[in-house]
Amino acid sequence: MSVRPKAWLYLCGGRVLMERHPHAYDECLRCEGNPKYIEDIRKDIHRQFPMHEMFSSEDKPGQQELYNVLKAYTVHFPDIGYCQAQAPVAAFLLMHMPAVQAFWCLVSISNRYLEDYYSPTMEVVQRDGLILQGLLKKVCPPVYRHLKKVNAEPMFYCTEWFLCAFTRTLPWDTLLRIWDIFLCEGVKVLFKTALVILIGCLGTAKSRKQCPGLCETLDRLRNPPEDVLSEEHLIYNVTRLDISEQDFQEQHQKQAKKLKLNSLKSSNGSSR
Amino acid sequence: MASRKKTLLKVIILGDSSVGKTSLMNQYVNRKFTNQYKATIGADFLTKELTVDDRTVTMQIWDTAGQERFQSLGVAFYRGADCCVLVFDVTAPNTFKSLDSWRDEFLIQASPREPENFPFVLLGNKVDLEPRAISSKRAQQWCQSKNNIPYFETSAKEGLNVEQAFMAIAKNALAQQNSTVDLYNEFPDQIKLTNTQKPSGGSGCCQ
């Protein structure tokens, strides 16, 4: 058996949580749960990785386990409840480990790695989209300018990348490697991955010329060339990307402030 | 005065999770249906070229996530829409009850200049399924109460009425685009009027 699932459980802190609360998962399963969340989850369990052996039909164990893990989360964290983007993450974890372990990994990822991504207001994802844009401006100005020119807002291309931690984007081998680094180093790895994909898709003048408008540009970002997502290209470039801790911090502060201003402005605007 | 090279209609599909938004879009654009869709996270879009009253138009159809909390990401997607398609599942009463909130939320976030005249189209999907929970009459009454929104009963699975519905969507979007030049308070592509070729060696001109 691969050591990877074990390593992930230790790396993300899932193991510690599990040992601290040995009965919590089973207790959550025994609770009835909020009917609103249950309904949302039921609608989604057959819509995750439909081509994957584990989740391809109701008779397979995957769908029931996925339901259990997601439901348990809503019982344990009723304020966050269920966000649709958690389903692919949970399903991906279930491909590697037993349900109880997948549950604690999901808890750790939802509450620490991707803190507030899945909350009912989803504000943090929007902020992170802007941070990504800011970092892109620094790392590769031509791609930044191109996206501005065609009015491609970050939410158009990075929502699924970030919310699902690339589980729906990357080919299997690359995804495993990115998750290794992600669980080691945290959310910054998602930004770096996004930047490498953006640059890989639109980094050359020729590629930008092929994407003169919003449609073509988003199409390319949604279906990046195979070599851009390959393990060799992506991992190599993610590790050598030149962004410092300070760059992240600067962008973080800048965008958090901007978002606050914007939301103030728009709330004034709509009350006019 | 708006002079456009080609007419682009932006259409946005809204409605509760699992009512068939992605399936409708795919049936219309690709004439395909599968039971193996993935839940939409964020938004996705497809384009289709069609002829409306002898005019060739490109319809850009945006398919959105149906879960309520994703509405907060909506503003980026809703902006600039020419028509909003509301979808419910005729076998699921809750999806019908949510229509008011989807409509209201769209009007708040997209803020079209004349909200009372903004074109919506309502689709009651999954008519191939039993048992039926929302009758045609009830859906039509709702449409009448909202300034006579056109209503179609569709089955994305069987391709029933999908073509007709999207033709009506295109016509409504086009009529709306023709009747008001300034559809929105904020008009982001205004910039294009002065956006001439980038001078060689110039910088910072794309802001």
pLDDT tens-digit series, residues A143-161: 999 999 999 999 999 999 9
Residue A270 pLDDT more than 70? no
Q: Which residue has the higher pLDDT, B4 or A166?
A: A166
DSSP character for B38?
P
- Residue of B17, B44, B73 for testing the chain A interface, max A β-carbons within 10 Å: B73
Please report whether residue B204 resides in a domain.
no
Query: What pLDDT sits at residue A266?
Result: 62
Mention the CATH class of domain A123-265: mainly alpha
Query: What pLDDT sits at residue B204?
Result: 36
Tell me if A156 and B77 make a contact (CB, 8 A cut-off).
yes
Q: Which residues pair with B86 in a beta bridge?
A: B14, B122
Query: What pLDDT sits at residue A168?
Result: 96
Give B37's contacts in chain A (Cβ within 8 Å): 47, 50
| Tens digit of each residue's pLDDT (9 = 90 or more) over A193-233 | 999 999 999 999 999 999 999 999 999 999 999 999 999 99
A38 lies within 8 A of chain B by CB: no
| pTM for the whole structure | 0.90
- Domain made up of A4-112: CATH architecture: Orthogonal Bundle (1.10)
Please report whether residue B166 resides in a domain.
yes
Q: What integer is the mean pLDDT of A27-43?
A: 96
Residues of chain B with pLDDT under 70: 1-5, 180-207
Q: What integer is the mean pLDDT of A223-246?
A: 96
Residues B95 and B17 sit within 8 Å (Cβ to Cβ): no
Query: What pLDDT sits at residue B76?
Result: 87
Residues B8 and B57 sit within 8 Å (Cβ to Cβ): yes
Q: What integer is the mean pLDDT of A103-115?
A: 98
Residues A89 and A109 sit within 8 Å (Cβ to Cβ): yes
| Selection from A114, A103, A93, A107 nearest residue A8 by Cα | A93
Domain count, chain B: 1
Tell me if A159 and B73 make a contact (CB, 8 A cut-off).
yes
Q: What integer is the mean pLDDT of A164-188?
A: 97
Burial class (CB in 10 A: 0-12, 13-18, 19+), B178: exposed
How far is B20 from B87, CA to CA, in rounded Å? 8
- The mean of the pLDDT values for chain A is 94
Tell me if B70 and A122 make a contact (CB, 8 A cut-off).
yes
Q: Do you find a cis peptide bond into A171, omega within 30 degrees of 0?
A: no
Residues A256 and A233 sit within 8 Å (Cβ to Cβ): no
Please report whether residue B202 resides in a domain.
no
How far is A5 from A106, CA to CA, in rounded Å? 13
Q: Which residue has the higher pLDDT, A114 or A271?
A: A114
Query: What pLDDT sits at residue B203?
Result: 39
Q: How many contacts, defined by CB atoms under 8 Å, are there between A and B?
A: 81
Give A121's contacts in chain B (Cβ within 8 Å): 69, 72
Residues B133 and B97 sit within 8 Å (Cβ to Cβ): no
Tell me if B69 and A122 make a contact (CB, 8 A cut-off).
yes
Chain B: nearest CA to A3, how far in angstroms? Answer: 30
Residue of chain A minimizing CA distance to B20? A43
Query: What CATH number does residue B33 fall under?
Result: 3.40.50.300
How far is A64 from B138, CA to CA, in rounded Å? 36
Number of other CB atoms surrounding residue B138 within 10 Å: 14
pLDDT > 70 fraction of chain A, expressed in percent and rounded: 97
Number of other CB atoms surrounding residue A171 within 10 Å: 12
Please report whether residue B87 resides in a domain.
yes
Residue A139 pLDDT more than 80? yes
Query: What pLDDT sits at residue B2?
Result: 45
Give A49's contacts in chain B (Cβ within 8 Å): 38
Tell me if A215 and B45 make a contact (CB, 8 A cut-off).
yes
CA A125, A118, B73, A203 torsion-angle sign: positive
How far is B13 from B66, CA to CA, in rounded Å? 10
A123 lies within 8 A of chain B by CB: yes
DSSP character for A52?
S
Residue of chain A minimizing CA distance to B111? A270
Chain B: nearest CA to A16, how far in angstroms? Answer: 31
Domain that holds residue B139: 7-186
pLDDT > 90 fraction of chain A, expressed in percent and rounded: 86
Please report whether residue B192 resides in a domain.
no
Query: What pLDDT sits at residue A257?
Result: 87
Strand B120-125 with B43-52, pairing? unpaired
Domain ranges of chain A: 4-112, 123-265
A43 lies within 8 A of chain B by CB: yes
A77 lies within 8 A of chain B by CB: no
Query: What pLDDT sits at residue B181?
Result: 57
| Segment among A16-25, A249-258, B160-169 with least mean pLDDT | A249-258
